[in-house]
Structure 1
Amino acid sequence: MAKNINIKTGDTVKVIAGKDKGATGKVLSVLREDDRVVVEGVNQVKKHVKAMAQGQESGIVTVEAPIHVSNVMLVEGDGVTRIGFKKVEGTKKRADGSTYTVERSVRISRKTGEEI
């Protein structure tokens, strides 16, 4: 069973360990079953591709490979921060027009306490 990953697609993260330490980039995809993320411009590898369809070229291309989620931290302002959660109350509308309160969980910055 995969762990809970607090990083989402579209977040800006900084690599804190590995060969690309210090690099920042946008998260392109999250692989929950493997606890890995694909970050734009980080952990680039050469891949040999074969022309499968007519008109498509074969050769060697550079693509981003996944890195473990423990090697990245969310960027907030000038530095990095850990991610926490808190419950926030809100209101929703029913089809008949009446309202009711709901509790939802939101991501917060451990550094500033603000909602991400």
Structure 2
Amino acid sequence: MAKNKMRFKKGDLVKVIAGDEKGRKGHILKVFPKTGKVIVEKVHMIKKHAKPTQQNPQGGIITMEAPIDASNVMLFNEKLNAVSKPVYQVREGRRIRVCKKSGDEL
């Protein structure tokens, strides 16, 4: 089984480019390389019904982020105010991620 490649890392600022949440921006909270999904802050919010537990004795309805497909988000560059792909370049013997449009280090 081949290792799945992910263009995104935790903490990246992304913009949703497809789906119901199109146009919204947020930071990546979690990445799931095996399924090709990411959880983006304050995007794709769902309501989950929780039973009372020791940590949450009240129980009730919890609002939380749900994973969305990584193909529906793109890296957002605040400097250019535009979306761009991350690419890898070798600089000073190190392999680093850079913004394809501006060349800025990520």
Output the TM-score relative to the length of structure 1.
0.83
Indicate the larger mover: 68-77 or 2-11: 2-11
Query: Which of 94, 97, 102 is residue 112 of structure 1 equivalent to?
Result: 102
2: CA distance, partners of 1:56 / 1:30: 30
Moved >3 Å (runs of 4+):
none
Pairwise CA RMSD: 1.4
Q: For structure 1, list consecutive stretches of 5 or more residues without a partner in the other structure.
A: 90-102
Map 1:72-87 → 2, pairs under 5 A = 72-77=73-78, 78-87=81-90
Deviation, structure 1 residue 113: 1.6
Identity among equivalent positions (%) equals 41
Structure of greater Rg: 1
1: CA distance, partners of 2:59 / 2:17: 35
Aligned partner letter, 1:38: I
Deviation, structure 1 residue 114: 2.0
1: CA distance, partners of 2:56 / 2:96: 47
Map 1:14-29 → 2, pairs under 5 A = 14-29=15-30
Q: Residue 20 of structure 1 aligns to a residue in which SS?
A: coil
- Corresponding residue pairs, total: 103
Q: State the Cα deviation string for residues 1-22 of structure 1 (Å, max 9, x = none).
A: 4421111111110000011000
2: CA distance, partners of 1:108 / 1:54: 42
Which is richer in strand? 1
